[in-house]
Amino acid sequence: MARTGGVVSAVVLGSLLAAVPQAEAAGVTCSANVYKRTFYKNTSFSGSPVRTDCDGGVGESWSGSPASGVPSNNFGVRWSVTRDFGSGGPFTFAVSATDGVRVYLDGVRKIDLWKNTGDTARSKSVNLTVGSGRHTLRVDYVNWSGAAKVKYTYTPRTSATYDRTKPLAPTGVKTAYDTKVRRTTVSWSANKEMDLANYSLYRRPVGSGTWTKVTTTTARSFTDPLVNPDDRTPYYYEVRARDKAGNTSSGSKDTIVQPLPVVTSLTGTYDRATGKVGLKWPLNTEPQFDHYTVLSNDLVDGSYKWVPLGTTKGNTWTTGPVTADGETRHYRVLVTNDGGTTTYNPNWLDAGATNELWLDIPDGIAPGYAPDLSLGTCESGVQATVTDYTPAPIRDFIGFEIERREVGTAAWSVVLHKAFDPRLDPATATVCDALPSDGRSYEYRAHSYDAAGNHSPESDIRTATVPAG
């Protein structure tokens, strides 16, 4: 069926008659969930509307002309609104009107009372299911003669018998941590459900799977009363919605609250030329950030303690000269916020802490003493023996090296580079240096070396002459 004038056309969808609405009147924009209402001076909704405005609901009783330029009889009024129904669910559409009224959902006719009744109104309601998301409602009303009365409502069915549709999870969850009072305020966007009963706010510590209900509220924000100056535990928060039928949504996207800003990584390098350690970490961007404190784990009065080196607002630090002793140095960077609370700082070392660095310092300390060197003869030349009398528990070397050169020359040659037998005391090593029997004289010297390749002072130089053959 089609009406002339190109205003309204209709197609059959199954057993229902669907009408294709005319384009919305230009120049009028209504608030969310508010109807746009158009008046026509005919009952065919043809031509341009006489008037367009916004209406909070469909409920009228006109005894004459409903608007300037509209006749008292034979006029039409159309209401339309597009809104978000959230998760949707069961609804009741109810209408009461004199003369003609039709109700559409997304262009599909759901109620059809299209008959001249004069001043006598009649009613009809239908129960139906509205899908999730945005949908368009339209009410077409015509008055042929007499009183013009029309009322339309759409309401959710909130009985658990009919409504088993869970609300959508809340969105737009935001958290704000107040460093002064050490409390977290959580806020969220309004749920789109028309049958919303309340919201519940939950929290759980990071690393735990157990949620604790913080509150149930009809508001859209809440300040968690959790207050503990020594609690630096980061928490996840989520919000769940509950409708009047008792259905509860899944949780919103978990939002983490870190009571204190932390250094997420700490790196460092040792400069052999200056002997200094350079530390670096990512710069914190939290608005509550105030400063960093850099610490070193040092030996104090016989025990190791975390000693502050200084504070900075930057993300780098250079220490003073550090002895190249081959030991591991430990550094830590703390963050203090504008509320005066500082990152947790235990007395012990924590290899898993992101704000702690364990840095191996290269060993630049050579063994402190020269070994003894003695020379003798062996079957093919000169026998050289090196010995060190340092007690085994405190030896700082792992082997010996013996060098030889011909008297009167400058270059030394290595004739022995060998680890000593740790079972022997004193530590010793020997070599039979094969040399030609030509009567030449040779000088020998020895030193010990450690695992880093550092050499001790040289022994006294010893001289041996090989007899001429």
For 377, the token pair is 């003869």
- Of these ranges, 72-81, 222-231, 343-352, 417-426, the one predicted with the greatest mean pLDDT is 72-81
- Work out the mean pLDDT of the chain and round it to a whole number: 91
Per-residue model confidence (pLDDT) at position 468: 87
pLDDT score of 280 more than 50: yes
Confidence bin at 18 (pLDDT 50/70/90): very low
Looking at residue 456, the DSSP 8-state letter turns out to be P
- What pTM does this model have? 0.60
Is pLDDT above 60 for 16? no
For residues 115 and 101, give the distance between their C-alpha atoms in angstroms, rounded to a whole number: 8
pLDDT at 1: 30
Closest C-alpha to 288, from 367, 184, 201, 195: 184
Indicate whether 98 pLDDT > 50.
Answer: yes
d(Cα 356, Cα 335) in Å, to the nearest integer? 12
Read off the pLDDT of each residue in 325-341 and give the average, rounded to a whole number. Answer: 91
Nearest CA to 24 among 39, 38, 9? 38
Looking at residue 423, its pLDDT comes to 86
Kindly tell me if the per-residue pLDDT of 2 is higher than 80.
Answer: no
443, 404 Cβ separation under 8 angstroms: yes
Instruction: Give yes or no for residue 81 having a pLDDT over 50.
Output: yes
**Residue 350 or 19, more confident:** 350
Determine the pLDDT at residue 23. 39
Residue written as token pair 């008792």? 246
> In Å, what is the CA distance from 435 to each residue of 377, 404, 459, 461?
11, 11, 22, 18
33 phi-psi bin (left φ>0, alpha ψ -120 to 50, beta other)? left
* DSSP classification of residue 5: T
Higher local confidence (pLDDT), 14 or 400: 400
The model's pLDDT over 228-277, given as tens digits with 9 standing for 90+, comes to 766 778 899 999 999 999 999 999 999 988 777 789 999 999 999 999 99
What is residue 241's three-state secondary structure?
A: strand
Which tens digits make up the pLDDT trace of 182-198?
889 999 999 999 999 99
Q: How confident is the model at residue 340 (pLDDT cuts 50, 70, 90)?
A: confident
For the cut 60, the answer to whether the pLDDT of residue 206 exceeds it is yes
Task: Please give the domain boundaries of the chain with CATH numbers for all domains.
Answer: 9-156 (2.60.120.260), 174-257 (2.60.40.10), 267-360 (2.60.40.10), 372-465 (2.60.40.10)
Are 434 and 466 within 8 A, CB to CB? no
275: left (phi over 0), alpha (psi -120 to 50) or beta: left
User: What confidence score (pLDDT) does residue 4 get?
Assistant: 30
Q: Within 10 A of 238 (CB to CB), how many other CB atoms are there?
A: 21
The pLDDT value given to residue 260: 75
State which amino acid sits at residue 164.
Answer: R
Q: Is the link from the previous residue into 66 a cis peptide, with omega within 30 of 0?
A: no
Task: List pLDDT tens digits, range 25-57.
Answer: 457 999 999 999 999 999 999 999 999 999 999
Mean pLDDT of 82-100: 97
24 near 48, Cβ under 8 Å?
no
The mean pLDDT value for 385-401 works out to 94
Residue 303, strand partner residues: 300
